[in-house]
Structure 1
Amino acid sequence: MKRFKWVPVLLILMLVLSGCNGFTKGGSGAEEVEAEGDKVTLDFWTFWGSEIRRPIIEQIIEDFNNSQDEIEVKHTFIPWGDIWTKELAAIAAGDPPDVVINDINATALRGKNQQAENLSKYLEEDDISGDFYEELWNATLYEGDSYGIPFNTDTRVLFYNKDAFEEAGLDPEQPPKTWDELREYADKLDVKNGDKYERIGFYPLFGVGTDVWMMNADNVNFIDENSEVQVNTPAKLQTLEWLKSWHDKYGENNINSWKAQMESQQANPFFSGDLAMLVQQPTFYTQIRDYAPDLNFGVALLPEKEPGNGHTSWGGGFVAEIPYGAENPDASWEFIKYLTGKEAQEYWAVKNFDNVANVEASESAASSDEFDDNGKMVYELAVEAMPQTMLTPVPLAAPDFTTLVNPEFDNVYLGKKTPEQAMKDAQAAVEKLIEQNAN
């Protein structure tokens, strides 16, 4: 029942005498339902307020509302920087929303902290776990139970300039498949004038970070599900040495100059041909479509460290959750099933050009007639990359371990430490953190 801090005694007596028990609450800010036959109102929080995404999610909500006559979903937009702090405050106050879109990589942590409802009782009766990519589903589990249903996701792929390939004598239909080929291609694609580059073939830390390449190398997260620290593995050390060689090749000044240009969507050096290859999310295609429609480009899986190692990529995503203490969890579950079902997922995928968690919807969207040829090319490649895409769930034993690891990577690029020393120090620091957290 709704928590009233101040309720007139007379009103309470009237309710008791009249036998009125029809008040229910649809979450924070939802209207009260004054009769048992009325619809349950749900308050659905998202951060999708842009002129593109807001109409799409609200169309999905409208379709759900029209599909049945028992539940009415209301959309509440809360900006990215505020939504989750406000959600936690609402949970603590006992007045949470009914459904919220949340970060997939921290789903297990919220389950542990009792900030999201355990969905096991619903899944026992209606097991939809097989509808989603396995890596995404596993990220929602805490002690074997799911605390959120995957909604959308992403991956990382290689975009490359076909005209630049031809100019450098490379086959535009044969992108690099390994790290050695990546370096070979980049050297041929570079155009240097004195100490400055007019075109950079490729720099691995444009678009993704050190961690992505380390997972590409050994397919292992920094902390596994048993809280074992795997920071200083041989493959990760080799990766850091490899990345440092790229940094030394181009130099800090050139790297910073190109990085500054990339901060502007319209002036991205990949659009002008000044950067020949770039790792990005598949949704990067929409920027090419809008700002460089004549660009002759291709896409490929993330190159593997060596043949047979795997084209492992990295991704994140979001889940639909029922916040802990939500008033109408049964109704919330019904809406979440619709939200993550094939119809709604495919609509979101096509209208947003966004990767979705539902496998059937994702594969169907890849052949959508609403995509042009380039759109289909990119989306099909993204679907191909998904089974090889790793997530990085927040390790329960050390949620903030990256604050210890990332500075060590920076020390290497700045020349303050050797890769060997940095990886050794990072491993020791994370092990110490886990030990401290256990006490």
Structure 2
Amino acid sequence: MKKLLCIVLCLALASSLLFACASPAATETTDAAATEATASEAAATEEPAATADEPVTITILRPGDEEKVKSFLEPAVQQFEAENPNITVEIMYESWAGWIQTYPTYFEADTQPDVIFWWDNKLYDSSAHDHLVNLSNYLSEDFFSQIPQGIWDLVDTGDMDGVYYVPNSVDTFVMYYNKDVFTAAGLDPNTPPTTWDELLTDVQTIYDVTGTPGIGIPAITGSEVLEEFVGLFLNQATDASVLDSSSMPLFNTADGLSALTMVQNLSKYAQTSPTEYGRGELRALLRDGQVGIIFDGPWAVPTFKAAYGDDLDNSPIGIATVPLAANGKKIDWAGTNGWIATRESTAAASAKLIEFLMSPEILLSHHIIYGSAPLYASEFDNAAFQYDYWKVFYDEAQNYKLYGMIGRNSATPAAYYTALEEVWQQLVLGQISAEDAQAAAAAAAEGVTARNN
């Protein structure tokens, strides 16, 4: 009996030990299965990224005049869809003014288009930044090499590692001048000024001899144009951006002061009430011989072509590279617009569309419709770009050191334009000295940065 009891007890003990050893493994298996099931459920709720061959629908927005957008995008999209039958592209229409007002709402609701024609200084915009897609792994090597390196260098993405923005157009400032005004002032219309000293001498001569303003300065309130005008001279004198990567001023130096002094001196010979003039109004003045010189981008070309035809080389309007600062460096201001993708789930299709839009044939169409300067050398084969004045823009884009729009590393780039505009207006109106403007502008920029931090 005792022997039987011992056997029973031993069997019970062995059974309990086996159960104890087996329980953790069983628990782990159960937990792993539960975790796997939970992960599967979570994955099922996320929108998977579409591969390049899966059917997918994407939306695109190129802000601007709807008729112009249609004339460019509709045939381009039709051709793209024919070449990529698995991708459907829906076009969204919105004016620049409307888009500027509404884009934060779209991004905050995650209803923004998949592909957008964007600004190079809004990559850190607080609404859009987290939606930008790194296109590095989606675009081909040949694609990267077809865009000049200097233009890639102009696109400052700060600490963003990768390609989040593809420049479609590079719009440099050139010097437009009225040849008839030059002749009336006793100046040679075939030898426009090439240095700051020559520029100041010529605008003063025009003013003194003819009574016509020697230079037009765009200082209208509520625009970015005055900062870009002053910024050109700051860039040239300092060989630096207006703001550094931390959005702190770089112009509070002796070279920066020389630039602001130049602006102050030019302002003496500018049109009256400069704060009533934007770029559009100045183009009309130059066209009609009511001002001698303006600085503007290729956006001014359509105004002069409408008055004098396509061949501006043989018109009263001269187009030349910007005069250089005392340092003699080839430096210019430039702005770019380009394409961004905003969703990882449609990144492959979006990249395909962007690469198509940047192909020589389609880019040429875009530039002709919008009056943008050539980006590729092949564009000069087209009759629209046969004239020498287009080579001025191309030369600057390829061979000059370019500085662009301010506030690129800030979540609120527009705030810097607003803060600096007030100071620059006082400078061109003669209300403050160059020294006071330098100090006030530096303080204004630092104030915006402090508020952002």
Per the normalisation by structure 2, the TM-score is 0.75
1:318 match: secondary structure: strand
Matched, 1:218 2:238: yes
Q: What does 1:98-177 align with in structure 2 at a 5 Å threshold?
A: 98-109=114-125, 113-123=129-139, 126=141, 128-138=143-153, 139=155, 141-143=157-159, 144-177=161-194
Q: Does structure 2 retain, via aligned residues, the 8 Å contact 1:271–1:295?
A: no
1:259 CA drift (Å): 5.5
1:298 CA drift (Å): 2.0
Q: Which deviates the most, 151-160 or 292-301?
A: 292-301
Measure, in 2, the Cα distance between the counterparts of 1:436 and 1:262.
Answer: 31
Measure, in 1, the Cα distance between the counterparts of 2:53 and 2:319.
Answer: 54
1:55 CA drift (Å): 0.4
2:319 match: secondary structure: strand
Q: Does structure 2 retain, via aligned residues, the 8 Å contact 1:152–1:355?
A: yes
Counterpart in 1 of 2:38?
A: none
Measure, in 2, the Cα distance between the counterparts of 1:418 and 1:185.
Answer: 23
The residue type equivalent to 1:162 in the other structure is K
Q: Does structure 2 retain, via aligned residues, the 8 Å contact 1:116–1:321?
A: yes
1:155 CA drift (Å): 1.1
Q: Residues 392-429 of structure 1: CA distance to partner in whole angstroms, max 9, x if unpaired?
A: 25243574333333322233334443321231233244
1:102 CA drift (Å): 1.2
Matched, 1:54 2:86: no
Measure, in 1, the Cα distance between the counterparts of 2:101 and 2:277.
Answer: 31
The residue type equivalent to 1:255 in the other structure is T
Measure, in 2, the Cα distance between the counterparts of 1:38 and 1:247.
Answer: 60
1:343 CA drift (Å): 2.4
Counterpart in 1 of 2:88?
A: 72
Q: Does structure 2 retain, via aligned residues, the 8 Å contact 1:46–1:83?
A: no
Q: What does 1:185-204 align with in structure 2 at a 5 Å threshold?
A: 185-190=202-207, 197=211, 199-203=212-216
1:262 CA drift (Å): 6.9
1:355 match: secondary structure: coil
The residue type equivalent to 2:82 in the other structure is N
Q: Residues 264-286 of structure 1: CA distance to partner in whole angstroms, max 9, x if unpaired?
A: 58x81211222222212123122
Counterpart in 2 of 1:183?
A: 200
Q: Does structure 1 retain, via aligned residues, the 8 Å contact 2:81–2:88?
A: yes
Counterpart in 2 of 1:91?
A: 107
**Unpaired runs of 5+ in structure 2?**
1-43, 220-224
Counterpart in 1 of 2:349?
A: 331
For the structure 1 residues 71 and 25, does the alpha-carbon distance in structure 2 shift closer, same or farther, using more than 3 Å as the test?
farther
Measure, in 2, the Cα distance between the counterparts of 1:48 and 1:168.
Answer: 40
CA RMSD of aligned residues (A): 3.4
Q: What does 1:308-323 align with in structure 2 at a 5 Å threshold?
A: 308-323=327-342
1:42 CA drift (Å): 1.5
The residue type equivalent to 1:246 in the other structure is L
Counterpart in 2 of 1:403?
A: 418
Matched, 1:350 2:361: no
2:189 match: secondary structure: coil
Within the candidate set 267, 288, 294, 1:247 is matched to: 267
Aligned length: 391
Matched, 1:365 2:379: yes
1:114 CA drift (Å): 0.4
For the structure 1 residues 429 and 283, does the alpha-carbon distance in structure 2 shift closer, same or farther, using more than 3 Å as the test?
closer
Within the candidate set 439, 442, 453, 1:424 is matched to: 439
Q: Does structure 1 retain, via aligned residues, the 8 Å contact 2:80–2:353?
A: yes
1:106 match: secondary structure: coil
More helix by share: 2
Q: Which deviates the most, 240-249 or 296-305?
A: 240-249
For the structure 1 residues 75 and 173, does the alpha-carbon distance in structure 2 shift closer, same or farther, using more than 3 Å as the test?
same
Counterpart in 1 of 2:286?
A: 270
Percentage of pairs with the same residue = 19
1:156 CA drift (Å): 0.8
Measure, in 2, the Cα distance between the counterparts of 1:431 and 1:391.
Answer: 19
Matched, 1:390 2:406: no
**Unpaired runs of 5+ in structure 1?**
1-20, 28-35
Q: Does structure 2 retain, via aligned residues, the 8 Å contact 1:304–1:312?
A: yes
1:422 match: secondary structure: helix
1:291 CA drift (Å): 2.3
For the structure 1 residues 327 and 350, does the alpha-carbon distance in structure 2 shift closer, same or farther, using more than 3 Å as the test?
same
Q: Residues 169-189 of structure 1: CA distance to partner in whole angstroms, max 9, x if unpaired?
A: 333221110011112222333
For the structure 1 residues 131 and 168, does the alpha-carbon distance in structure 2 shift closer, same or farther, using more than 3 Å as the test?
same
The residue type equivalent to 2:319 in the other structure is V
Measure, in 2, the Cα distance between the counterparts of 1:104 and 1:155.
Answer: 14
Counterpart in 1 of 2:13?
A: none
1:275 match: secondary structure: coil
1:239 CA drift (Å): 1.7
1:73 match: secondary structure: strand
Q: Does structure 2 retain, via aligned residues, the 8 Å contact 1:47–1:80?
A: yes
